Amino acid sequence: MTDRRLGGLSERLEAGRQRLDELPRWKADLVVLLGAVGLTYLVFGVVGLLSGVSTNEITGFLYTVTFFGAVFGLLTLALNLHWGYTGLFNIGVAGFMAVGVYTMAVLTADPTGSPAGFGLPIPIGVVGGVLAAAAVGAVIALPALRVRADYFAIVTLGFSEIVRLSITSGSLRQIEFGDTVYGTGGGSGIRYTPVDSVVPWLLDLPGIGVAGDTLYGIAAAGGVSQSVVNRLLYALVLIAFVVVCYLSLQRIARSPFGRILKAIREDEIVARSLGKNTQLAKIKVFALGCGLMGLAGILWIGSRSLATPESFMPIVTFYIFVALIIGGAGSNTGSVAGAFVFAAFLWEGPRFLRTILRANLDTRSPPTIYDAGVDLLAADPMPLVGYFIGSLDELRWVLIGVVLVVLMIYRPNGLFGDRKEIAAAVDLSNRGGGSNE
């Protein structure tokens, strides 16, 4: 009975996969991406509602998942361009984010603040931050790309730590210039207007203002506050950034330039022997990816009002690698899907689980696992459960480890890494004449 039902399920799955394979590639990508997002929302919504988490909390979680899904999506796309496509093992992602965020912060911070900034409008700050990250990427690329792959990784990791430690260093913390004190603010960070304040500012503009008022009005009628509307709109802005970057990177992937990148990954000497200027391609692609990392940093850390060096620890780079490995290096679709799955289930999942458990179980968290063990011997498992709930943030690491191990065993190429993604602007299978299409 169960066997037959299982058989039916696997048959249906197989049929579904076949139907997916028959779709044009872009449609299949869309189905996969929307499916992953939709399924995640559904799981959070249904599980949340069934276990009695309040609607407010659920929407809060969905917002956070969307937010992190989007910023991680941008970062994995950038890293995929470097590592998945070109084979550049960049483990300095956090450093390039830091360059973007700090440039943006210094450009836009209040001129009377401490440390002071230049008080420029946010869009200029964002563009400046992205350009700075790209420029630093290009400069790093010049010496770094001359060394072999593993040494390249060391150079990028070293760079990202140098950036972080420079920000903390005394000589950059405060730089006096005339009467004002500029600088990075060292360990206590630098304050600025968060980038998501662009949303209410836009809605206040004459012309759009009317639409903004209507939107707020409708929301208020539904019992939703202005700040929630602003947050949701910011999430939409993030999604728009992901969509634009995804489509642009897909075009790069499916172009002669993308072919050169792939060839560099596979065997650079071959690419050079066929007359391709790989050094130039690598510098271009490295600067582009670094700029994108700067942008992602700005949209993430920049939407808080304070940047501190702790936000750019090497561990951030590790998160992005995990997200990319889950999705499948070498595939843009996989990158975005992996980032979203990572944000939902590994990043926010444990916290969501804790909310559910706290809402349903009356647990106190004992101070150490030893105390919990003692209670367990007394046939009372609840303190142990409580202990685990209390340390779910740390258990996230265990979870990430388990996921990586399982993935390496059963799907070493990630969720989408085993797909043939052909680097060409046209369908190569079509062997007929060119002009009659």
**C-alpha–C-alpha distance, residues 404 and 385, integer Å:** 24
Name the residue among 89, 95, 90, 121 with its Cα closest to residue 108: 121
Asked if 270 touches another protein (CB under 8 A), the answer is yes
Judged by CB under 8 A, the residue of 11, 213, 266, 380 near another protein is 266
Contact window for another protein (CB under 8 A) among 56-64, 334-342, 398-406, 417-425: 417-425
Asked if the bond preceding 206 is cis, omega within 30° of 0, the reply is: no
Judged by CB under 8 A, the residue of 175, 274, 361, 406 near another protein is 274
Q: Which residue has the tokens 């940093």?
A: 297
Looking only at the bridges linking them, the beta strands covering 180-182 and 175-177 are: antiparallel
Minimum CB–partner distance for residue 311 and another protein (Å): 30
Here the tokens at position 215 are 């939107």
Contact window for another protein (CB under 8 A) among 155-163, 276-284, 367-375, 377-385: 276-284
Minimum CB–partner distance for residue 96 and another protein (Å): 18
Contact window for another protein (CB under 8 A) among 234-242, 258-266, 312-320, 373-381: 258-266
Toward another protein, which CB reaches closer, 236 or 274?
A: 274
Query: Which phi and psi (to 5°) does residue 190 adopt?
Result: -125, 135
Asked if 282 touches another protein (CB under 8 A), the answer is no
Asked if 175 touches another protein (CB under 8 A), the answer is no
Judged by CB under 8 A, the residue of 4, 5, 148, 420 near another protein is 420
Query: What is the contact mask toward another protein in residues 236 to 255, using x (rule: CB under 8 A)?
Result: ------------x--xx--x
* # binding residues, another protein (CB under 8 A): 42
**C-alpha–C-alpha distance, residues 293 and 6, integer Å:** 44
Amino acid (one-letter) located at 185? G
Minimum CB–partner distance for residue 34 and another protein (Å): 24
Toward another protein, which CB reaches closer, 120 or 127?
A: 127
Cβ pair 93, 293 in contact under 8 A: yes
**C-alpha–C-alpha distance, residues 141 and 58, integer Å:** 44
Query: Which phi and psi (to 5°) does residue 306 adopt?
Result: -140, 130
**C-alpha–C-alpha distance, residues 162 and 190, integer Å:** 18
Q: How many CB atoms lie within 10 A of CB 96?
A: 34
Asked if 79 touches another protein (CB under 8 A), the answer is no
Judged by CB under 8 A, the residue of 93, 126, 167, 288 near another protein is 288
Here the tokens at position 362 are 């009356």
Name the residue among 327, 316, 308, 12 with its Cα closest to residue 168: 308
Q: Is the dihedral of CA 91, 95, 99, 104 positive or negative?
A: positive
Asked if 24 touches another protein (CB under 8 A), the answer is no
Minimum CB–partner distance for residue 194 and another protein (Å): 30
Contact window for another protein (CB under 8 A) among 77-85, 118-126, 269-277, 333-341: 269-277
Q: Which residue has the tokens 């006096």?
A: 176
Asked if 21 touches another protein (CB under 8 A), the answer is no
Here the tokens at position 385 are 């459960």
Cβ pair 83, 73 in contact under 8 A: no
Toward another protein, which CB reaches closer, 395 or 422?
A: 422
**C-alpha–C-alpha distance, residues 99 and 134, integer Å:** 9
Asked if 74 touches another protein (CB under 8 A), the answer is no
Judged by CB under 8 A, the residue of 41, 118, 216, 257 near another protein is 257
Asked if 5 touches another protein (CB under 8 A), the answer is no
Asked if 411 touches another protein (CB under 8 A), the answer is no
Minimum CB–partner distance for residue 424 and another protein (Å): 6
Asked if 278 touches another protein (CB under 8 A), the answer is yes
Three-class HEC string of 370-410: HHHHHHHHCCCCHHHHHHHHHCHHHHHHHHHHHHHHHHHHH
Toward another protein, which CB reaches closer, 159 or 416?
A: 416
List 180's β-bridge partners, or say none: 177
Toward another protein, which CB reaches closer, 283 or 344?
A: 283
Minimum CB–partner distance for residue 315 and another protein (Å): 30
Query: What is the contact mask toward another protein in residues 326 to 345, using x (rule: CB under 8 A)?
Result: --------------------
Asked if 259 touches another protein (CB under 8 A), the answer is yes
Name the residue among 396, 373, 400 with its Cα closest to residue 386: 373
Here the tokens at position 115 are 């440390």
Which residues make up the interface to another protein (CB under 8 A)? 248, 251-252, 255-260, 262-263, 265-267, 269-278, 281, 284-285, 288, 420, 422-426, 428-431, 433-435, 437
